[in-house]
Amino acid sequence: EDEPDGLVQLCAEAATGRILGATVMGVHAVEIIHEVGVAISDGLTVGELGDIIHAHPTVSELVMEAAEQAEGLAPYLS
């Protein structure tokens, strides 16, 4: 709780939702950026990434929530 804020931002192709890149900043960025790398190499869309089940509560949930927000499924993050 005393850790500074962070950010997970996904860049996706508008027409298909295919993930093209990401910006991950924060104390635990190195622990979660690999997930986006795997998603890119596998050609996943933001919808597919958002459908992956993540352990809770974990920092990696931020990747799932960023994907859900990109799909318009996480209005509580807006």
Catalytic site residues? 56
- Distances in Å between the alpha carbon of 19 and those of 6, 14, 52, 67? 20, 10, 14, 9
Q: Residue 7 has which token pair?
A: 């950010």
Q: Residue 74 has which token pair?
A: 């996480």
